[in-house]
Structure 1
Amino acid sequence: MASETNEGKLQACCLVEYRPLPGTPSGELVKIGGVDTYHISGKDQTSKGKVIVLFTDVFGLTKNPRITADEIAEKSGFDVYVPDLFNGEPLPSSLLSLMPDEAGKKLSFGNKLAMGGKMLTTAGPWLIRHRQAVTLPIVETFLKTLRSEKGATRIQAVGYCFGGLYAVLAGSEQYHLADAVVGCHASLATKANYEQVNVPIAMACAQEDEHFSDAFRSEVEQIFARKPQIPSKFIVTEGTAHGFASRPNPDNPVVMKAYTQANDLIAEWAKTHL
């Protein structure tokens, strides 16, 4: 029930977006494995049990991930879940004002100084509080509860930026919590993490992304080229920077086209591999 969740806290702080996507979320907030979770039902009644889970970036379960979940549910026909991994305490999306939102833009000297200060005072301590040793058990409990209590039989884990690591881990041989994986401008995951993936994986990449560089993408592509039994797909979206698939600028048609490409990839990958 929504009354048992942190909806009040989420409404008060987390629904504030630096660049909100248009529309109104149409799903509901539920509790799964002790985690506040946005849920939107898909319309394909023949595919119940096949679900898509979105692991957000550091800005958490705000309006944009809910709008994205609604669009992916519409495109795929599957139920979509977005767990709040941060207990209603994400980083503020106002930090996006310091970051480039499209390819070709560079941080000004002033923004570099401001970003350095924010990393020391805000982002750095936050990342320590939400390190892998803290977040991974939440992800593991959530996905296992989704199967045991919500009837999920096949799960596609989708990770955006920070959440990319947890989608990759969910699809790994070690944890095997997901049956397919999509990463959208994923960060934090290492080559060793990708080596462990043993389920179909797709990656929606930005044209310019210091968190998932061209060189690193080539190394990851080579990993899966050596494992042809595992379906893989990589797309690079034109004109984009890190964050395009989760926090796009709705006034930029090039970036919004890439946002749609990412959602199409997520939906098609799920329909193909779940």
Structure 2
Amino acid sequence: MATETTDDKLDACCLTEYRPLPGIPSGQMIKIADIDTYYISGKDQTSKGKTIVLLTDIFGLTKNIRIIADEVSEKSGFDVYVPDLLRGDAIHSSLMKNMPEESGEKMSISARLRYAGNLVTSLAPWLFRHRQSVSLPLVQKFFQTLRSEKGVTKIEAVGYCFGGLYALLAGGPLHLADAIVGCHVSLTNKTHFEQLEVPAAFACAQEDNQFSDSLRAEAEQILARKSELPSKFLMTKGTAHGFASRPNPDNHVTMAAFKQANDLIAEWAKTHL
């Protein structure tokens, strides 16, 4: 059952977003399946029952993903939900500082050392706390509750980086989603693409150490063989990992790609739900 919620941790996280997108989120926080969730109601009353669920990156339910939800809802007309699957235990988005914004950019030696240190001290323990055996049951519970309690009949699962894995899993044998979109996905392998059973689109960075050229090419080949299954790979020029969820508002290259990703999410939902 959905109820209103006020979560100081989530509000503070939203306010302290590193390099925030412009605008003020216009949705509301509710609880679904005991999971704090950002919700924005779609304007297309004829599409009620069809919804888009955004699965966040490691930075959780910050301002940016709420702005994205608002924009995707505006473009598609659908209701959009963003569950806090991290339960308030997000990595702060300042980790993006000094990370490449565009393809071809290189990190300085000092930035590489700091990032390596963060991997050991923060990210590795965090990934263990949010391993698949912990996170997947939350995804299942959330999607099932949407259908049983909110009257949802069709779902597009959209995953960013960490959330991309769960979008893929939702579109596989678990039968949680009816279509998926992955944005610079991570933690995936060819098996996740082989097991897809629903229309799948991907917004890809030109350079992405989380979703390599070789894995992307293999994924394209796998889905091309599934002739009955619509698929699309959008390659965004000049981009690096994170462009679809953490673009620099002052960088016209990443912002153009960010808009492309949002358009893809909306159009894929309107076409395949």
TM-score scaled by structure 2? 0.98
- Give, in whole Å, the separation in 1 of the partners of 2:95 and 2:188: 22
Q: Are residues 157 and 50 of structure 1, via their aligned partners in 2, closer, same or farther at CA, if it must alter by over 3 Å?
A: same
- Give, in whole Å, the separation in 1 of the partners of 2:3 and 2:51: 24
Equivalent in the alignment of 1:107: 107
Would you say 1:197 and 2:202 are equivalent positions? no
Q: Are residues 266 and 26 of structure 1, via their aligned partners in 2, closer, same or farther at CA, if it must alter by over 3 Å?
A: same
The answer as to whether partners of 1:14 and 1:89 remain within 8 angstroms in 2 is no
- Give, in whole Å, the separation in 1 of the partners of 2:160 and 2:6: 22
- Give, in whole Å, the separation in 1 of the partners of 2:266 and 2:162: 21
| 1:193-249 superposed Cα distances (whole Å, 9 cap, x missing partner) | 110001000000001001111111100000011111000000100110000000000
Equivalent in the alignment of 1:210: 209
The answer as to whether partners of 1:6 and 1:88 remain within 8 angstroms in 2 is no
Would you say 1:143 and 2:143 are equivalent positions? yes
Instruction: Give 3-state SS (helix, strand or coil) of 1:237's partner.
Output: strand
Equivalent in the alignment of 1:132: 132
- Give, in whole Å, the separation in 2 of the partners of 1:4 and 1:144: 19
Kindly report which structure 2 residues correspond to 1:81-230, keeping only aligned pairs within 5 A, or say none.
81-172=81-172, 174-230=173-229
Equivalent in the alignment of 1:247: 246
The count of aligned residue pairs is: 273
Deviates more, 1:208-217 or 1:6-15: 6-15
Shift in Å, 1:81: 0.4
Q: Which amino acid aligns with 2:116?
A: G
The answer as to whether partners of 1:98 and 1:115 remain within 8 angstroms in 2 is no
Q: Are residues 2 and 98 of structure 1, via their aligned partners in 2, closer, same or farther at CA, if it must alter by over 3 Å?
A: farther
The answer as to whether partners of 2:5 and 2:30 remain within 8 angstroms in 1 is yes
- Give, in whole Å, the separation in 1 of the partners of 2:9 and 2:198: 36
| 1:142-200 superposed Cα distances (whole Å, 9 cap, x missing partner) | 0000100111100000000000000000000x201000000000111211111000100
| 1:90-142 superposed Cα distances (whole Å, 9 cap, x missing partner) | 00101000311111111111111101111111111011000000000000000
Shift in Å, 1:2: 9.6
Equivalent in the alignment of 1:12: 12
Q: Which amino acid aligns with 1:90?
A: A
Equivalent in the alignment of 1:62: 62
Equivalent in the alignment of 1:79: 79
Report the RMSD for the aligned CA atoms in angstroms. 1.3
Q: Are residues 154 and 2 of structure 1, via their aligned partners in 2, closer, same or farther at CA, if it must alter by over 3 Å?
A: closer
Percent sequence identity is 67
Instruction: Give 3-state SS (helix, strand or coil) of 2:97's partner.
Output: helix
Shift in Å, 1:5: 3.1
- Give, in whole Å, the separation in 1 of the partners of 2:129 and 2:49: 33
The answer as to whether partners of 2:3 and 2:31 remain within 8 angstroms in 1 is no
Equivalent in the alignment of 1:258: 257
Q: Which amino acid aligns with 1:224?
A: L
Equivalent in the alignment of 2:269: 270
Shift in Å, 1:71: 0.2
- Give, in whole Å, the separation in 1 of the partners of 2:260 and 2:61: 21
- Structure 2: stretches of 5+ with no match in the other structure: none
Q: Which amino acid aligns with 1:30?
A: I
The answer as to whether partners of 1:52 and 1:78 remain within 8 angstroms in 2 is yes
The answer as to whether partners of 2:28 and 2:40 remain within 8 angstroms in 1 is yes
TM-score scaled by structure 1? 0.97
- Give, in whole Å, the separation in 2 of the partners of 1:80 and 1:2: 14
Equivalent in the alignment of 1:234: 233
- Give, in whole Å, the separation in 2 of the partners of 1:14 and 1:135: 22
The answer as to whether partners of 2:189 and 2:215 remain within 8 angstroms in 1 is no
The answer as to whether partners of 2:30 and 2:38 remain within 8 angstroms in 1 is yes
